[in-house]
Chain A
Amino acid sequence: MTKKTRKSQISRRTFVAGAGTAAVATGVIGFPAVLRAAPQPVNLGIIHPVTGFLQQAGAQCRFGAMLAVADINADGGIRSLDGAKVRAQLGDAQSKAEIGVAEVEKLNERGVSAIVGCFASGISIATTQAAAKHGIPHVVDVGVSDKIVQRGLKNTFRFGPGFGKIVKVGTERLIEINEKAGKPTKSLLIVHENSTPFGSGMAKLLTKGLGDAGFDVMDALAHPTPNRDFNNIVLKIKAANPDLVVPSMYYNEYVLFARTLERQKVKPKAIYSVLGGAASQYKFLKEFPTAAQYIMDCNHWYNPKNSDAFRVRAATEKAGKFYSYEVFTAYHAVKLVADAIERAKSRDRAAIIDALASSTWAGHFMPYGPTKFVNGQNQGAQPLNTQILGDEIEVIAPEEYATAKAVFPRPA
């Protein structure tokens, strides 16, 4: 084990060294004044729940954030601050809101210019409040709860879409996909988790949205997280025999659910998820290629027409990680802060908040267009619709980002 630790350390060091060389190289070409003392790094707080029950997602987020820090530094750091490097100050929220707050306080003492985190809505709500007391800009990487940006906190920004937007778009696109295919599905059944903010608000919104569009919503079956057995739910689906199943749950449960469908030989005409835990995860596709086929999802997704997305994907896969939404959302949260610091030309927290609020950042690979924040929410943020086809996750809607045509309903 010591060996492994050492190895990973060395690899990180070589990576940093490589990044340093690149920075020096650009420096040599750009300015003759490389000998000037290196500027103080900019401290950036990165908080995620890397221990406790959210540890899987937290680790993915942290990886994405660290990748962004490495990229920024390899790219010459913050240019407007004489190429100052970004220094990550890591925090572990231990999957608890109160620990998240303690980490904010600690990072405040360490003089961070901004904070990025904390994956879960519950933790992010607490950390943004704590950061607000010290005037620290806080970019929320995932945290889809809409309450995060509805409390009037001036320091809080979210680059990605919130829950309301995702569900609304998810509903509209399902209606559109169904209409385009000649309305092959009429009845549907919703399966959702209800132990956390993410799944519990979903059913009501979906039931209403899809019901209004003329779908026959047969049932909305809730289950807790964690859940050990999906046989009941699958048997109910079998009995109701809906055209369409709409599942929304965390990764482990999603996998268990999809496998139970497969085992019980229940094959609805289509599976369409909104924020489905595994429905657009490469890990799921790799481990269960048959169970995953044709599953559609409306989720955080990168712009497949941007080559940067694939550069980051390659880097992620090279590190032995899966390119999940946590990776690229956290990646962008860090990049967004870096861009704001660049614009602010300052380490000052208030200046960075102003820069974030007025930012028009377009150098990202999400399908959002240039950033425009209103009350901390990026207005252009939207989810994409994906479908697992063969050994790739393709974008099927909206048109401008699509890489494949939706297979709907799935072939029998």
Chain B
Amino acid sequence: MTGTMGWRIFWLVLGALAIVAPWIITSGFWINFLILTLFLAFLGQGWNIMGGYGGQFSFGHAVFFGTGAYIQAILQSKFGWNPWLTLWFAMAGGVLVAAFIGYLSFRYGLRGSYFALITLAFAEAFRVLATAAEGVTEGGKGILIALNQDPERSFAMMQFATGTGYYYFILILTVLSLVVVWAMERSRFGAQLVAVRENEDAAEAIGVNAFRVKMGAICLSGAMTALGGVFYVQKFLLMDPNIAYGPTKSVEALVVPIIGGMGTVFGPLLGSAFLHTMGEITKEATQFFWQDRPGLDLIFYGVILVLVLAFLPNGLVGLIKGQWRGRRQGRAAERKKAVA
């Protein structure tokens, strides 16, 4: 009871801090740091729905990210649509691609590494298509969104003049994603999804339609990840085949929840915060000693990644929960002793 209470207070304080952060933090660098942390947490949450809760490991989440991003970019730059409108098409595009890939993979019963590889293959196929279809995507040249320089229209054009605007934008998205996953975890659908993850045949035996559940998960995941693409386009105002469908985003989306804790609501957020902080620390620390030695910081980063995996196989959430459980058990034991 006290534990739950403690967590509630913790999250309330953290939430309050997140809301007032731009007033406390005047540093543009740190605001940008928070934006990227939240952005990655958001992408990771998209992956988490399918990988963490559903046990369907995707290596090609970029396929959803890139599709959302491209739709957002193309409808805006070629047709002049408003970004608040294109956003819905981008998400719909993410769902469509997800449904397509999901239908094929799940219909043919692909699991485990086979599913991982087919998502990888789809991401690569889309990358090639985006490069080749110059008429639609501008190919390797990439699409540039016109920079809005009228501060009055910054909200209407979804381009914010300061980091604060983007910060709140991504904060809202991330909080929404947390709420969605939190609600999903407690829903019938969530329970079914976890059942499928744990043992698909057993789940089928108790009447869960595994195919439908997995389709639901991949579509939700696709929509969310596509929204991540929307944010990227609005923040950086450019898109090309490598950003959209290259392996970077796929890897980032899966590293964050695995490090943070798969199949948990706050895992992606924790993972993203941890990895970003580590990245920054290794960068600063190595730069302090050797200014011009590219690669050194990433060596340390990789080593830390392996060490975290070695010692925290259940992610950071596992660490926190484990400690908490340990403490609670300790307290219970004490109470028992006191009673005796």
Find out whether A and B make contact in their complex, taking CB atoms under 8 A apart as touching.
Answer: yes
Mask for A208-219, Cβ within 8 A of B = 1, else 0?
000000000000
Nearest-neighbor residue (CB-CB) of B40 within chain A: A98
A200 is contacted by which of B31, B36, B134, B242 (Cβ under 8 Å)? Answer: B134
With an 8 A cutoff between CB atoms, is A341 at the interface?
Answer: no
| Complex Cα spacing A279 to B291, Å | 32
A129 is contacted by which of B142, B147, B232 (Cβ under 8 Å)? Answer: B147
B140 is contacted by which of A92, A96, A133, A200 (Cβ under 8 Å)? Answer: A200
Contact yes or no, A133 B162, CB < 8 A: yes
Tell me the A252-266 residues at the B interface (CB within 8 Å): none
With an 8 A cutoff between CB atoms, is B144 at the interface?
Answer: yes
- CB neighbours (8 Å) of A153 from chain B are 147
| Complex Cα spacing A147 to B131, Å | 19
With an 8 A cutoff between CB atoms, is A81 at the interface?
Answer: no
Contact yes or no, A55 B294, CB < 8 A: yes
Min C-beta distance of A16 to chain B, whole Å? 12
- CB neighbours (8 Å) of B240 from chain A are 122, 196-197
| Complex Cα spacing A225 to B241, Å | 12
Contact yes or no, A197 B142, CB < 8 A: yes
- CB neighbours (8 Å) of A105 from chain B are 28-29, 31-33, 163
B: interface residue count bin:
35 or more
Contact yes or no, B149 A200, CB < 8 A: no
With an 8 A cutoff between CB atoms, is A406 at the interface?
Answer: no
- CB neighbours (8 Å) of B149 from chain A are 152
Tell me the A221-273 residues at the B interface (CB within 8 Å): 224-225
Min C-beta distance of B105 to chain A, whole Å? 26
With an 8 A cutoff between CB atoms, is A109 at the interface?
Answer: yes
Q: Check A224/B131 contact, CB under 8 A, given A97-B238, A98-B236, A126-B237.
A: yes
Nearest-neighbor residue (CB-CB) of A195 within chain B: B140
| Complex Cα spacing A134 to B26, Å | 13
Contact yes or no, A193 B140, CB < 8 A: yes
| Complex Cα spacing A224 to B139, Å | 11
- CB neighbours (8 Å) of A285 from chain B are none
Min C-beta distance of B285 to chain A, whole Å? 14
Mask for A187-206, Cβ within 8 A of B = 1, else 0?
00000011111011100000
Mask for B265-305, Cβ within 8 A of A = 1, else 0?
00000000000000000010001001111110010000000
Contact yes or no, A194 B294, CB < 8 A: no
| Complex Cα spacing A109 to B27, Å | 7
Given contacts A105-B28, A199-B140, A200-B138, 14 further A-B contacts (CB under 8 A): A50-B294, A62-B292, A96-B243, A97-B238, A101-B32, A102-B36, A106-B29, A129-B147, A129-B237, A151-B147, A152-B147, A152-B149, A194-B140, A197-B140
Q: Can you name 20 A-B residue pairings with CB atoms under 8 Å?
A: A5-B290, A51-B294, A51-B295, A55-B294, A58-B294, A62-B292, A101-B236, A102-B29, A102-B33, A102-B36, A109-B27, A125-B237, A126-B236, A129-B147, A134-B28, A145-B141, A151-B146, A152-B149, A195-B242, A197-B141
B contact set with A: CB distance below 8 Å: 27-29, 31-33, 36, 128, 131-132, 134, 138-142, 144, 146-147, 149, 161-163, 232, 235-238, 240-243, 248, 283, 287, 290-295, 298
